[in-house]
Amino acid sequence: MTIMQEKEAADKKAAVQQLFTIIFPGYKVMLTPRSIVLMKDGTNIMIDENNFEFLQEKLIQICCLKSSLADSQVYNPSGAKA
């Protein structure tokens, strides 16, 4: 059971790294227990608990994800006129 959990964790980590590689092309992504570090040409950008919510909001906007119940009421493709 532990081996399966470790494999799942490694798979999730790889998926997150791939996502950040797409979002931040040219940056090397390093995942730490408390932050995400993006490195490029001697410049480091750290995403941690202090600025994660800002990144999360921007990703929600960019990917057109629902951020609240109010958003789900604005767009209803299954209505009578759909």
Amino acid at 42: G
Give residue limits of the domains in the chain: 9-64
Q: What is the DSSP string of 3-68?
A: HHHHHHHHHHHHHHHHHHHHHSTTPEEEE-SS-EEEEETTEEEEE-TTTHHHHHHHHHHHTT---S
Q: What pLDDT is attached to residue 27?
A: 93
State pTM to two decimals.
0.63
Q: What pLDDT is attached to residue 70?
A: 53
- Compute mean pLDDT per 10 residues along the chain, 82 residues long, and list them: 79 90 92 92 94 91 71 63 63
Q: What pLDDT is attached to residue 62?
A: 85
Q: What pLDDT is attached to residue 79?
A: 67
Secondary structure letter of residue 76 according to DSSP? -
Q: What pLDDT is attached to residue 22?
A: 92
Show Cβ contacts of residue 13 under 8 Å, excluding neighbours closer than 6 positions: 31
